[in-house]
Structure 1
Amino acid sequence: MKPIDFGRAQRAELHHFSDTSGYEAVSYIRIINHSNKIYCALLMSKARVVPLKQITILRMELTVATVAIQLDKMLRGELDVIVDNSYFWTDSKTVLWYIMNKAMRFHTFVANRLAVIHGGSTEDQSRFVNIAENPADE
């Protein structure tokens, strides 16, 4: 996961990016050594086939955000590295609004996806990434 001459990792983070254009999530590890050198590597990606039944873009965005949560859980269990923090990046401000909103009640589909997201992350781990900079869009 890191170059041989990189040295010992002082901090490790997982960064998960999700996007509906490919209905996929990608996960990167970001490692920082004692000299504050940073190394990033692609760990895993997961793509799903877009369903034949038409669903809204919001529902697809929420579903792919849950895929990122599942990737985080799986990678934390499989890696031999202590992960200090995980971040979940999306290019949908609407999804971020849903994640941050604790006051409203939502329909079953949305509520179930939000339950998975809230169960696997905290609000401060959710971040916005511009569409042009989202690596899940590649």
Structure 2
Amino acid sequence: MSGAGAPAHKPNPADTASLKVAVIAASWHTQIMDGLLDGAQRAAADAGIEPTIVRVPGTFELPVAAATLADTYDAVVALGVVIRGGTPHFDYVCDAATSGLTRVSVETKTPIGFGVLTCDTEEQGIDRAGLPGSTEDKGYEVMAAALETVVALKQL
């Protein structure tokens, strides 16, 4: 299981309630994306935050949206899912999203929560989406990790 050994993240509202956070969510694979977005929103609510939600067409568009938001938010959470098909499209989109979001985070010094699921099958995505019966809740985990990173960076 990919979640084995993951830390337990629980945002502390005393540290996070004043933070301004945006969530960017791709639109492909509606069931999975709805689960990821719900998990991110629950983690934000646990942290005393109501995030700004921005929807984009797909995972490829996440980096440009993150770059647009990074200068005005304490953290940005990027949610998407790419499911492997029979062409190299999967590799190109995954690489573009990963390198693009990393570049935005490093260049802006804004934590970008990386919630892009890269799956071989739709079932793998469903299992990680925080839906009833899922074994993981990546939306929640990614939001919590982004918030913890903001808090850690503020202490430097």
Q: Is TM-score (shorter-chain normalized) higher than 0.5?
A: no
Could you say which structure has the higher helix fraction? 2
- With structure 2 as the length reference, what TM-score do the two structures score? 0.35
More strand by share: 1
Structure with the greater alpha carbon radius of gyration: 1
